[in-house]
Chain A
């Protein structure tokens, strides 16, 4: 009886030499094999750390049905909108770095969680500490922050209630939390606003079991309302700016990303409705020899994003290349009917015939 090695006869992607050494990260084609298909009619929602913005933008450019539950007002330029948290994700929750933060948001939107000490003040302006980046100058009063958050949560609730696919990018394991309540914040108190008080706040570095169980809870809550919801997980390849763990930032980064990668991998193995897209693996591993990072070895280059999305779209055929589409084709599925720029303004002037008659009369024709 011939004993055949279990490694014999595997596809080329299974071997390092043919799958990596002889491949280029710019052209590798079978790094990712989708677990389920995305339907062009799917309502896709996005959230996560800042790398998720790239994915969201690329999907929009391809005409995917990215939900925009909080569209920007007409007249706001794209850059201005981004500065205020519009069009980055499917709602204005800003960066959601940790799965605990996501769990909080999901529970808060359902009225099952009340954050503590979440309004921070700086120079007389007030910030929503759970998404401080969306109003960079803060708001006039704490009451205004409360009102904004109530409206925001309503939109988030509606967004989750309609989503078919949830793309979430895991960013960090490290966070700061309010000691007595366990409320987790996306930034350390004192960074954008607020004040760091070690009696009130503490550093936390979530481990594998925390993150895994948090995501299980997120999934359970969301699927209770949307049983067919599918999840597509990625891990952000962007290293930590700083660590409070006491470790060297390189070691802390590798630890953090490794844990996240392990959780994402485990979840994808365990559930049919969770897929893992290996953008992190492509960009951050030595396969790409750091070619997809800027000089600071932290920011991901546009070539890196393009390489990752090429791998993604090789599996999920969502239509034409971005360059082939006009900006008009950039699609978003608004949860509300936004006032449509000047097209809406011009409605009052649509009755050209009346105007034409008046002009003809006045100018004597």
Chain B
């Protein structure tokens, strides 16, 4: 039985690639990657049964620059794994930095009526689902679904490292990120919002014909990623190492086996 996996994603594929290179979890079988930094991959199209950048010269150039295939035949794969591409707890942070539900309003001493708006639970959940739906990840899923009925799994971008809460932001970019995430730092809020995010992502993924796989619980501490999984690049609180990729692979393979049955080792 042919049993090949195509992994599609942005820089968050790196930790999984590194884990695969170390043969941490060979059960996944032959795997190939389409990858591109940032969010541009969401522009890829599916034409004639092929995932392609042929009509997107700028994207084509970027893919070539990092050595990614620019076109793949979807028939050559048994499943697809879409990684990162904006689908992250960050969508919650984007809403929560300016919009709170009443349950957070009463517990948040920092609430500033000139900056923050109160929204109902219904509106918050709709906004959350709306942002998830517009991620590159879901866009790619939608395109794949026009040409294949094979399983599609979604792996979110990892939650930021836990030391994000203690580092002093120095650059404008860090300050923007800190300001966006800061209201979510209390553990009770992060945990609650992370649950809401997972619930919404699961629901949206399902409605788009795919399966959302949560970040492995073992990698989390109060919904932030444990520091030991960081890539140790100065100030990078988003990208994880091969050890993290290995834990994700174990979870991913287990999830796939649960859904597809235990034929993964047939590769």
Contact = CB atoms under 8 A, between A and B. Distances in A.
Interface string B108-123: 0000011101111111
Interface string A323-339: 00000000000001111
Contacts of B126: 75-77, 80
Contacts of B262: none
Interface residues of A, number: 51
A352 interface: yes
A345 B11 contact: no
Interface in A128-164: 135, 137, 139-141, 143-144, 147-148, 150-151, 154-155, 158
Nearest to A349: B38
B95 interface: yes
Interface string A49-85: 0000000000000000000001111111100100010
A348 interface: yes
B233 A70 contact: no
B67 A151 contact: no
Contacts, number: 165
Contact of B233 (A75, A347, A354): A354
A294 interface: no
B80 interface: no
Given A151-B113, A151-B117, A351 B173 contact: yes
B56 interface: no
Contacts of A224: none
Contacts of A75: 91, 95, 126-134
A344 interface: yes
A341 B99 CA distance: 13
A197 interface: no
Given A348-B90, A362-B14, A365-B66, A342 B134 contact: yes
Contacts of B21: 362
A355 B106 CA distance: 39
B201 to A, nearest CB: 13
B120 A346 contact: no
Interface string B229-253: 0010100101100000000000000
Most buried by B among A75, A141, A349: A75
B94 A362 contact: no
A301 to B, nearest CB: 30
A320 interface: no
Nearest to A146: B102
B86 A352 contact: no
B18 interface: yes
A143 B66 CA distance: 55
A180 B239 CA distance: 64
B135 to A, nearest CB: 7
Contact of B173 (A143, A150, A350, A356): A350
A339 B239 contact: no
Contact of A355 (B10, B68, B128): B10
A360 B95 contact: no
Contact of A345 (B13, B18, B94, B99): B94
A251 interface: no
B174 to A, nearest CB: 10
Nearest to A154: B113
A352 B39 CA distance: 9
B98 interface: yes
B37 A359 contact: yes
A76 B127 contact: yes
Contacts of B35: 359, 363
B82 to A, nearest CB: 15
B124 interface: yes
Given A73-B127, A345-B90, A363-B17, A140 B37 contact: no
B177 A140 contact: no
Contacts of B94: 74, 339, 341-342, 344-345
B38 A84 contact: no
Nearest to A152: B118
Given A75-B132, A360-B67, 15 more contacts: A75-B129, A75-B130, A76-B126, A84-B120, A84-B123, A148-B102, A338-B98, A345-B88, A347-B173, A348-B90, A350-B173, A359-B11, A359-B13, A363-B33, A364-B67
12 contacts: A74-B131, A75-B130, A76-B123, A84-B120, A147-B106, A338-B98, A344-B180, A346-B38, A347-B180, A355-B10, A359-B37, A363-B33
Interface of B: 10-11, 13-14, 17-18, 21, 33, 35-39, 65-68, 86, 88, 90-91, 93-95, 97-99, 102, 105-106, 113-115, 117-124, 126-135, 173, 176-177, 180, 231, 233, 236, 238-239
